[in-house]
Structure 1
């Protein structure tokens, strides 16, 4: 019987606000999955790196969930690429958590992202338990689809991911596309790679409330609102949305009185080097009057933005899944997105949204404009978006993840019998 899981999220805490720094869809994934497991009577202990001396060593945010803030390197000033050098300290404290308990305290380790996977391979051997790993993003995929101004992932990460693929008992891919990449690019054993889609909280992200959401946010009822939500960095391509807005206004000047582009989120990654770049671009293109920058918001206010929007735009250069797209659709908002990675699963092309090949702003302008100006088209796509999103509940994600855990435990026991 599965009693207790060690969940590893080394570089970012599931308690952090998504949209700031390195916090994003993975934070939501780890927390929501943990909630579902805890609701099923499974204790989840999450290990993440402490980023402030004021954080308690241990916090219990919800029944059945315990978060350990592990001191590994300086509390502040480290970026993600600095963290590999701090993994020894992180591993030491993770292993100590087992030493201080009765043998067999954890039944399984589930690691997220390659940094946690490196820790997980050590815990797997020391604790003699199976390791399940979720990549979330992969260096080889990212390097093949780099955005202009983005830095390539280092070879150390590539080697680390290859080691995880070799040692993990099971790998969880967000989509069939990610499964194929794991097999073809990393040589993963097909029998050890399972596909489990992330989910969406359909109680928080609800449709049929555009008027209410616009009133709460102070947005005019007749606004043609394009929403970009997420971390502000080249990988996510928010500049494409702003450039597309400029093209729409050039093609249809009458839209100017109603058009609004909301960019919700904070700078991250290489975007930290030029935090004012998008504002400068807006001024350069003469669209600063229609662009509104909104700092990162909590999940419920983010749901208001999704509900208020006429259309959400996700022009990322790569996405392992694209949680923003699913959340927007759950709120009844059609999505225009890049035809990359998990977005081809998250968006039903021509049904719940429109997928675009490449990142030419003119193509995005052509896709966005009808959804902003044709109420009938938007309404039809909105209804289909809700139905599409309903197939991605977190309860389904948890059930399928538990099936993967069971397979990993069974195989591990047979191997070590």
Structure 2
């Protein structure tokens, strides 16, 4: 995974594919999460660099305009593929043909060479991106975000595994992509070991954080703005509510905390910010039921997903942010929390060690008793210890601005385009007949 050399700019226009979730959706519920943030933030910054970005996503509402400008040089294009509502992510493989046809039809009026590159996000988009890149004769860059084989190794009890069809689809995309973007070195190794990816075609580009929105601030002022008690001990969970993200681990840990110290109940608040997603949609009130069963319903607040500015206030108001995921490709929430000066207590899985670094607390396993112990250690830390944690968190997050991510992503794009030009030149020089895609061979 060697660093990419600097090369002359060759990228003017990029087609991003995000089939199952729109970057315009509010993260934290349904299928909207860190990937939405990633797509939107990188597209915006690419636009600032003079690279035009068109994001293709499935229309989920009749009210959605066909084209939505979201920033200078950045458009979101909605594609009709199946009914607007009522389709889960599991239903979408059956709509990939319709989605791809919509993209091809829309782009058919554009001149040849309109796009320099396709960047697909998640395996469903990779299937469409594979076809689009082949049809337009441009490189395909793909980011997995999550992988079925990795998720299936870390299932929560009672959670259903990802289907074999997804694993096969991911393997196909890995083979088809010109370059693969991994969030962390761990993810890069998983691509090689689990999917037989060519190491020479894998590049590590860590996600970033909006350091303007997510910045340190006064805890008391944040609590006043959120109408929270100043003397509260506030522990947050932020994310989609599903077994994979482990919110149940935090609730069980909170029950253990008040069992050990009943007086703590008076001031402890556990705030769960997010909405049901994935398997959590089958029992959308299961977490509330668990809080009642554990006898802590009085200290748990369930908050629907909030805008990013308000989310930053929650992070500033917190004493600890728990990220007890069972699998996590990176863990953007951890980085956003640290950028606000929050102390993150996270599971030692996937990309979280990279996201958290040495600035937070990593927990082995998901034993609620162990999590209670680690959280209590943070809550009971001295003012000097707390300040040191805050300073380390902010310093760590400052290394991960979206500008850095965009720099490295652009280098990947440039490399993919340069390699494509080299391949064409080699084929032409060798005298080999260049094979056209089937569609170009039969359509005048």
Moved more, 149-158 or 190-199: 149-158
Query: Alpha-carbon deviation of 1:212?
Result: 1.2
Match of 1:413 in 2: 421
Matched-pair contact (CA < 8 Å) for 1:211–1:308: yes
Of 395, 402, 407 in structure 2, the residue corresponding to residue 399 of structure 1 is 407
Q: Report which of the two structures shows the higher radius of gyration computed on alpha carbons.
A: 2
Query: Alpha-carbon deviation of 1:103?
Result: 0.8
Matched-pair contact (CA < 8 Å) for 1:98–1:106: no
Match of 2:152 in 1: 143
Secondary structure of the corresponding residue to residue 400 of structure 2 = coil
In the alignment, is residue 125 of structure 1 matched against residue 134 of structure 2? Answer: yes
In the alignment, is residue 339 of structure 1 matched against residue 348 of structure 2? Answer: yes
In the alignment, is residue 384 of structure 1 matched against residue 392 of structure 2? Answer: yes
Match of 1:156 in 2: 165
Of 350, 367, 377 in structure 2, the residue corresponding to residue 370 of structure 1 is 377
Corresponding pairs, count = 415
Match of 1:24 in 2: 33
Structure 1 CA distance, aligned partners of 2:342 and 2:367? 22
Matched-pair contact (CA < 8 Å) for 1:224–1:258: yes
Structure 1 CA distance, aligned partners of 2:218 and 2:108? 51
Structure 1 CA distance, aligned partners of 2:53 and 2:305? 27
Matched-pair contact (CA < 8 Å) for 1:12–1:27: yes
TM-score of the superposition, structure 2-length normalised? 0.92
Query: Alpha-carbon deviation of 1:34?
Result: 0.2
Structure 1 segments unaligned to the other structure (5+ residues): none
Secondary structure of the corresponding residue to residue 145 of structure 2 = coil
TM-score of the superposition, structure 1-length normalised? 0.98
Of 352, 356, 380 in structure 1, the residue corresponding to residue 359 of structure 2 is 352
Match of 2:433 in 1: none
In the alignment, is residue 248 of structure 1 matched against residue 283 of structure 2? Answer: no
Secondary structure of the corresponding residue to residue 227 of structure 1 = strand
Match of 1:86 in 2: 95
Structure 2 CA distance, aligned partners of 1:365 and 1:378? 18
Per-residue Cα deviation, 1:167-207 (whole angstroms, up to 9, x for no partner): 10000000000000000110111111000000000100111
Of 2, 7, 10 in structure 1, the residue corresponding to residue 16 of structure 2 is 7
Query: Alpha-carbon deviation of 1:148?
Result: 1.7
Structure 2 CA distance, aligned partners of 1:147 and 1:123? 36
Secondary structure of the corresponding residue to residue 48 of structure 1 = strand
Match of 1:303 in 2: 312
Structure 2 CA distance, aligned partners of 1:242 and 1:23? 23
Per-residue Cα deviation, 1:328-379 (whole angstroms, up to 9, x for no partner): 000100111111000010112xx31111111111111000002112233222
In the alignment, is residue 329 of structure 1 matched against residue 338 of structure 2? Answer: yes
Secondary structure of the corresponding residue to residue 366 of structure 2 = coil
Q: CA RMSD in A?
A: 0.8
Runs of 4+ aligned structure 1 residues displaced above 6 Å come to none
User: Where in structure 2 are the equivalents of 1:306-317 lying within 5 Å?
Assistant: 306-317=315-326
Secondary structure of the corresponding residue to residue 21 of structure 1 = coil
Match of 2:108 in 1: 99
Match of 1:58 in 2: 67
Query: Alpha-carbon deviation of 1:283?
Result: 1.1
Secondary structure of the corresponding residue to residue 152 of structure 2 = helix
Query: Alpha-carbon deviation of 1:276?
Result: 1.1
Match of 1:280 in 2: 289
Match of 1:237 in 2: 246
Secondary structure of the corresponding residue to residue 260 of structure 1 = strand
Of 193, 198, 214 in structure 2, the residue corresponding to residue 189 of structure 1 is 198
